[in-house]
Structure 1
Amino acid sequence: MRTLVSILFAILLSASAVGQELNCRVEINTSQLEGTNKGVFETLQNAVNEYVNTNQWTNAQFSPNEKIECTLFFTITKYDESSGAMEGSLQVQSIRPVYNSSYTTTLINFKDNKIEFSYQENEPLIHSETSMESQLTQILNFYIYLILAVDFDSFSPRGGDQFFERLEAIVHQGQSSGESGWKAFEDTKNRAAVLAAFTDPSMRKMRDLYYSYHLQGLDQMSVSPDKGRKTIDESLDILTEIYKVAPMSVGLSMFKDAKLDELVNIYSKGTAEERQHAYDVLSAIFPTEQQRLEKIRRGDQ
């Protein structure tokens, strides 16, 4: 009997590990609120943490050291105790290890400035693949699948296809609900715009950029820094292609916020020709970032 119980426990443990693709840190900041019941935010943080880290999001097998490191940082600026309605922002970050090094690179560093949902203390968060259970879970589903999509894209060409398909369904459900943050052309940086930045025909080359930059560029630098940096330098031309057809694409600012400081470090050891090329490409797209871009041009550390 003891042996049977041990076997069953091992099977259950193995099955539960399949769904743990993320190692996500969840924080709820309520410093801008006064005189409210803070207990509800503790249960909210616990509920979101459990929802994100224990549900099964893919069919892939992840070992503990392969989990995707990410952060969801909520800042709640408005709260109605009677209805549980909350408003604020959500900072989403994810990182990826670089092959054969202790270095990690930022994949996503994005702030959703318009988060609105309702939550009652101790309310369970229900996960569904086919329906929109709540505005909160729909927002969480969107950013979880975005994290997965971009991560998988960084390891293989268009590797995140299945997750971008899920994102399209999530955005469609959100649009049907009439809730804010999902409508096309409502906002240049809302969730519909983020999806479009990776999937619209004129902009989906952004996904190729994430692959060439990471797998063929950063991951090669431990073997051949010059070769890896050259690939990264060439991949930046994709930004120019996207800028020509969609200069206001949120995908461009997402790449900048995740990568600009990293590019300064990469080009500190680049050739004069590489530095000038990167400066010319990036300064045309991000003219307000001259201070950091000058570091690339000069090769500063």
Structure 2
Amino acid sequence: MIKKVLLAGCILWAVVAQGQELACTVSINATGAQSNDRTVFADMKKAVEQFMNTRKWTNDTYKNYEKIACNILITITKMNSPTSFEASVQVQSARPVYNSNYPTLVFNFADRDWQFDYIESQPLEYNDNTFTNNLTSMLAMYAYVIIGIDYDTFSEMGGTPFFQQARQVVNNAQQSNREGWNSLGSNRNRYWIVENFNNPQMNDLRKAYYAYHRLALDIFHKDPDKSREVILKGLKDIKKVRDINPTAVLLVSFLDAKNKELVNIFSSGNLPVRREAYDIIKTLDPSGTIYDKIIQN
């Protein structure tokens, strides 16, 4: 696999000492939970981190500095019983930019339909080939998505095997009849994020991830203007995806991860390039107000 240089201080996320592919930090906000026993949440945090970080998700060998930095913020919204929970979750991952101390946010997705059971001190069980429980299926799906998109940023369409594995997790979990695993209801659930990553209509967007990161950000220090032009071309390709499927959740996820970064990138440089980028970005995200900074200077 392509080696990823992680300079000291590059990632603003806690790196877990023991792990396989992921360096995942888990936070649990349980202020809304009606429970006098708070130890379950500390135990849950530890169990989820261990599950994400100690399981081997690929056949590749990762060195410590190659692990993928990611965050999972679980907000408990309801306790149906001492072992049954409802939650919303924010999943994020980042990767380093070559020759810099800058980590770029790659994936940013809010999942509002988590329902799961958790028994304190009981090991988390998971099997790739069958549905075991809703918690580990959700975690496994996001592990494969995080790894897949990281691979996409280092080689064009490199994450395909992992997105296919995430789709298998979704297919297995549909038998649970829990929210978020099927095409019904919201188009911003885990079914649709995995569907988008596996949908050929999204290939231009996935290829843009590679161009954006490997062919632009990683060489930005050498030639900022050329990097901006590469990113501009990627935005044009992403617009093609938007023209085909304007409600695709992958478009939302991309902009949620990149909106502030795009403003920083295009707030300087060649004005015609900046104006063209602004027009495309506003087409992709008409309600975004932060983009006005791109053309103010």
**What TM-score, normalized to structure 1?**
0.90
Alignment partner of 1:89: what SS? strand
Deviation at 1:33, TM superposition (A): 1.9
Equivalent-residue separation in structure 2 for 1:245 and 1:196 (angstroms): 15
Equivalent-residue separation in structure 1 for 2:138 and 2:185 (angstroms): 16
CA 1:18–1:87 in structure 2 vs 1: closer, same or farther (change >3 Å)?
closer
Would you say how many aligned residue pairs link Structure 1 and Structure 2?
A: 281
User: Which residue number corresponds to residue 238 of structure 2?
Assistant: 239
Deviating above 4 A after TM superposition, structure 1's stretches of 4 or more consecutive aligned residues are none
CA 1:117–1:26 in structure 2 vs 1: closer, same or farther (change >3 Å)?
same
User: Which residue number corresponds to residue 93 of structure 2?
Assistant: 94
1:94 and 1:107 in contact (8 A); partners too: yes
CA 1:29–1:18 in structure 2 vs 1: closer, same or farther (change >3 Å)?
closer
Equivalent-residue separation in structure 1 for 2:256 and 2:215 (angstroms): 21
1:8-27 correspondence to structure 2 within 5 Å: 20-27=20-27
Matched, 1:214 2:213: yes
Equivalent-residue separation in structure 2 for 1:81 and 1:174 (angstroms): 22
2:24 and 2:49 in contact (8 A); partners too: yes
2:216 and 2:227 in contact (8 A); partners too: yes
Equivalent-residue separation in structure 2 for 1:96 and 1:40 (angstroms): 31
1:31-70 correspondence to structure 2 within 5 Å: 31-70=31-70
Q: Deviations over 1:195-216 (max 9, x none)?
A: 1222212223221111111101
Alignment partner of 1:59: what SS? coil
Deviation at 1:231, TM superposition (A): 0.4
Matched, 1:262 2:261: yes
Equivalent-residue separation in structure 2 for 1:183 and 1:52 (angstroms): 24
User: Which residue number corresponds to residue 182 of structure 1?
Assistant: 181
1:275 and 1:298 in contact (8 A); partners too: no
Equivalent-residue separation in structure 2 for 1:184 and 1:205 (angstroms): 23
Give the % identical residues: 38
290, 294, 297: which one pairs with 2:295? 297
Equivalent-residue separation in structure 1 for 2:58 and 2:198 (angstroms): 20
Deviation at 1:18, TM superposition (A): 10
CA 1:18–1:162 in structure 2 vs 1: closer, same or farther (change >3 Å)?
farther
Equivalent-residue separation in structure 2 for 1:123 and 1:181 (angstroms): 25
Deviation at 1:145, TM superposition (A): 0.5
1:28 and 1:74 in contact (8 A); partners too: yes
Q: Which has the larger radius of gyration?
A: 1
Q: Deviations over 1:111-162 (max 9, x none)?
A: 1011110111112102322222210000000111110000000000111111
Equivalent-residue separation in structure 2 for 1:36 and 1:189 (angstroms): 33
Equivalent-residue separation in structure 2 for 1:85 and 1:137 (angstroms): 14
Equivalent position amino acid for 1:114 in 2: D
Deviation at 1:44, TM superposition (A): 0.9
Equivalent-residue separation in structure 1 for 2:136 and 2:91 (angstroms): 15
User: Which residue number corresponds to residue 106 of structure 1?
Assistant: 105
What is the root-mean-square deviation in Å for CA atoms of aligned residues? 1.5
User: Which residue number corresponds to residue 121 of structure 1?
Assistant: 120
**What TM-score, normalized to structure 2?**
0.91
Alignment partner of 2:269: what SS? coil
Equivalent-residue separation in structure 2 for 1:103 and 1:21 (angstroms): 20
Equivalent-residue separation in structure 1 for 2:74 and 2:208 (angstroms): 29
Deviation at 1:80, TM superposition (A): 2.6
Gaps of 5+ in 2: 1-16
User: Which residue number corresponds to residue 137 of structure 1?
Assistant: 136
Equivalent-residue separation in structure 2 for 1:251 and 1:208 (angstroms): 13
Deviation at 1:176, TM superposition (A): 2.5
1:73 and 1:91 in contact (8 A); partners too: yes
1:243 and 1:285 in contact (8 A); partners too: yes
Equivalent-residue separation in structure 2 for 1:71 and 1:127 (angstroms): 20
Equivalent-residue separation in structure 2 for 1:57 and 1:215 (angstroms): 23
